[in-house]
Amino acid sequence: MSLATVADADLVARCRQGDQEAWAELVNRFSRYVYAIAVRVYRLPEPDAEDVFQDVFTRTWQHLDELRDDTALRPWIATATRRLCVDRLRAGAREAPAAEELLELEGTSDELDSVDEALAIHEALKQLPEHCAEILDRFFARDESYRAIGEALDIPPGTIASRISRCLRKLRGQLEGRNERFRPSDE
């Protein structure tokens, strides 16, 4: 079984046992999530976002043994990321009063809900055929052109639009009956 499809709880258990590959997968699984919260929701400049990013995973590593509920990994990471982002903004506000306005972003729960929902959709991609996950990720998340996708995946660029459309339909089908799983959690 690929680690990419292992449940968060099992991943945490493996990380606790010192499984290096499990830790790499945990970082991989949540890297986009942490990055999106820092850069998209809190609009941190890249150097600050990088510090937050590394801090989040350092704290996650340090607190693996203290996670009371292994299934609470995502909310735990979300909370840590939000707190560290707000700390950064507060530190910036002390140095540059104009940054005070950015602290109002603390209440951007809609944006945070969207990031949560996006993570759930991203996880759902794993259940699609590999070529579908790859093509959707390259086109939408990586913003690659038809030409770049065609070259990378060795498929005719002229067929990419129809493949994207088919894969979106498959993704939608994948979500059928699973709505409860994709509801952003109440934290």
Partner 1 sequence: MTNDRYDEERLAQLLKILPPAPEGWVKAAQELPQARREIDEIAERAQRDAEFRAAVEADLESALTQAGYDVDPSLIPELRDRLTS
Residues that bind partner 1 in the complex, under the rule CB under 8 A: 18, 20, 23-24, 27-28, 31-36, 40, 50, 53-54, 57-58, 61, 114-115, 117-119, 121-122, 136-137, 140-143, 165, 168-169, 171-172, 175-176, 179, 182-183
In contact, 14 and 26? CB cutoff 8 Å: no
Nearer to partner 1, 93 or 168 (CB): 168
Q: At its nearest, how many Å lie between partner 1 and the CB of residue 95?
A: 19
Classify the C-alpha dihedral 63-67-72-75 as positive or negative: negative
Q: At its nearest, how many Å lie between partner 1 and the CB of residue 171?
A: 6
Q: At its nearest, how many Å lie between partner 1 and the CB of residue 143?
A: 7
Nearer to partner 1, 147 or 181 (CB): 181
Q: In terms of Cα–Cα distance, which of 80, 98, 84, 74 is closest to 49?
A: 84
Q: How far apart are CA 22 and CA 13, in angstroms?
A: 9
* Cβ-Cβ contacts under 8 Å for 179 (sequence gap 6 or more): none
